[in-house]
Amino acid sequence: MKINRHLCLATLVACYAMSVSNAVQAEAPGIRADCVEYFDRLRRRPGDPPREAHRCDEPGLSPAVWGDLPYFAAIPDRWRIVNAVGYPERLWDPYHGNNVLKGDRPAFGNDWFVAFNLISDSTFEGRRLPTPVGIATSPDPGELDVPGDVDQTAFTQNVLLEAVLYKGETIFRPPDYELRILPVLNFTRVEVGEAGILRADPTAGTTRSDNFVGIQGLFLDKHLRNVSDRFDFDSLRIGIQPITADFRGFLFQDSPVGIRLFGTRNNNRWQYNIGVFRRLEKDSNSGLNDISADLREDDVLLFNLYRQDFPILGFTSQIALVHNRNSEIDDPFVDANGFLARPAAIGVQRNREYEVTYVGYNGDGHIGRWNLTASAYYAFGTEKPATFTGLESDISAAFAAVEVSRDFDWLRLRATLIYGSGDDDPYDDKSTGFDAIFENPLIAGADTSFWIRQAVPLLGGGRVTLSSQNGLLNSLRSSKAHGQSNFTNPGLLLAGVGVDMEITPKIRASINANQLWFDDTAVLEVARNQGNIDKSIGQDLSLAITYRPLISQNVILRVAGSALVPADGYKQLFGSDTAYSVLANLILAY
């Protein structure tokens, strides 16, 4: 709740007023006189002189009366206190008034509340990254090299409209019922230097403007029961809902349609999720859910269990068991821009199906003054056909990530190590390249990192990208929106350092430097028909500055720049030019 600090003070003031009111004393118990001075101190502003404590012999406050009164007085509900102390109704100001649109008081009956959220997310980006040239369609008739014009610009505008209807107070317990809908309105405009990049039809030109409305949330949540007097609970959620398999979005972070049972035990120390989900098709350009398309034959069965303060105080451990079954073996899928998305245009280019199980451990918290995030997954299963052989192949792959940081006054220093196994022989019956289901990693700079933010195409090796947009792993997918997991890939090694600086309460700066390598280049050598590709990718350098003028999340301005300084392996694939990206992002929230 966004007015908790006001409610706390309002509660104390109201209780104090009740304690000195004869009318209130006649109808309901008050509080003991030795608490009055405490409340009076709380009401004083900094610099005010001390006030004389109220005495028990004041009119209406006889010692006999106070001796029979309890320490605490029951009050019927919290919103009447807000009204009693004179908070005005301000629909357009969630922070300085009573707002029914933010759930400060019931909208219907005695316990039906509504909450509305409105967020504008605007991003402008300029970038230079490897771009293939359509030799027959290049706007420059003298351009015959494989890498073409590398300059690109993009503008993206998202408007999130979230509406929630729920029954029951939610200060200490989950709501009895919750109905939530989250549509997102998107507008995107992209301009590139080469024809045939934005759309398969080269006559479509080098600019693309597109709009779309996606549904990122549409679910009903039913509170099944409380299992303790501390409101440990079981709840059931059905519909399109956000779900994440781990703390940092390494494996699966999406908004699929499904059913989920979740709850807590032992004063919230144990938390669990059990869910069955089917993934939705995405819009090709915005990446939002497209509910007008058929559901994908891509199912996720998920179980995770959290334990707070384990193995030590301040650290949370989690185990995850996730099964992904993909049976998209029907006709090939072509995206909205005319490009083949399933199967990926690499290797044998045949429709694939796979079943893979992920077993993982994740931890997040602090050990003394050290902050620690750790993640490890092992993936096993089968796929048919494999990317390059066309035969059935056994999946056996691993992933690990660790981030260690420590705070020094206004500085936080970070160190990061990430490993995703690669495939050392694309022609055997083993697929050992690790790939996620749908990743959105929050590590090593996240979306300000060049390698994580940008989808770098594998020029001359098929119409796939090394790592997907907002992706960490070199999975060689056709796209993040429509692509299937690919366990025949070169893998990844990353070692990085970073620093977060709270320059002022309004300004934060983050600097990241990551060294990148392929785990094994055998797959790249086969795809490119090019031998002896070096493992080194290069140095990913980024700087991000975040400005919050209101010292809240309501207005956030972020500017960032990143660059990839190429090493030998990258130069052999794309040349020696430094790739970079600059962006400005403005978020306005109500």
What Å distances lie between residue 547 and 135, 445, 513, CA to CA? 44, 17, 22
Residue pair 198/337 in contact (Cβ under 8 Å)? The answer is yes
B/e letters for 476-508, b = 16+ CB within 10 Å, e = fewer, are bbbbbbbbbbbbbbbbbbbebebebeeeeeeeb
Banded model confidence at residue 432, pLDDT cuts 50, 70, 90: very high
* 112-589 CATH: 2.40.160.100
pLDDT of the residue at 47: 54
Of the candidate ranges 83-87, 90-94, 186-190, 368-372, the one whose mean pLDDT is the lowest = 83-87
Closest by CA to 288, choosing from 179, 159, 446, is 159
Of the candidate ranges 124-138, 220-234, 417-431, the one whose mean pLDDT is the lowest = 124-138
- State pTM to two decimals: 0.85
Closest by CA to 432, choosing from 377, 490, 354, 498, is 490
Banded model confidence at residue 544, pLDDT cuts 50, 70, 90: very high
Mean pLDDT over the full length of the chain: 86
Torsion sign (Cα): 457, 419, 377, 254: negative
State mean pLDDT over 23-40.
39
Of the candidate ranges 5-9, 270-274, 455-459, 478-482, the one whose mean pLDDT is the lowest = 5-9
Closest by CA to 374, choosing from 403, 351, 346, is 403
| Interatomic CA distance for residues 579 and 564, integer angstroms | 5
State mean pLDDT over 487-514.
98
Q: Judge whether residue 42 has pLDDT over 50.
A: no
* Helix (H), strand (E), coil (C) string for 189-242: EEEECCCCCCCCCHHHCCEEEEEEEEEEEEEEEEEEEECCCCCCEEEEEEEECC
pLDDT of the residue at 60: 45
What does the DSSP 8-state code read for residue 50? P
pLDDT of the residue at 426: 96
| Interatomic CA distance for residues 421 and 158, integer angstroms | 35
**What are the tokens at 444?**
């090593």
Going by C-beta distance under 8 Å and a sequence separation of 6 or more, which residues neighbour residue 168? 111, 174, 175, 176, 177, 223
pLDDT tens digits, residue range 283-336?
999 999 999 999 999 999 999 999 999 999 999 999 999 999 999 998 899 999
pLDDT of the residue at 254: 97
The larger pLDDT score, comparing residue 1 to residue 589, is at: 589
- The DSSP bridge pattern shows strands 430-431 and 393-408 to be parallel
Q: Judge whether residue 120 has pLDDT over 50.
A: yes
Q: Is 88 exposed, middle or buried (0-12, 13-18, 19+ CB in 10 A)?
A: exposed
Residue pair 508/502 in contact (Cβ under 8 Å)? The answer is yes
Q: Residue 356 forms beta bridges with which residues?
A: 324, 381
Residue pair 309/315 in contact (Cβ under 8 Å)? The answer is yes
Domain map (residue ranges) of the chain: 4-84, 112-589
3-class DSSP assignment, residue 513:
strand
The larger pLDDT score, comparing residue 512 to residue 202, is at: 512
First to last CA, the chain: 13
| Interatomic CA distance for residues 122 and 125, integer angstroms | 10
| Interatomic CA distance for residues 264 and 226, integer angstroms | 9
State mean pLDDT over 432-456.
96
pLDDT tens digits, residue range 123-152?
999 999 988 765 444 444 444 445 667 899
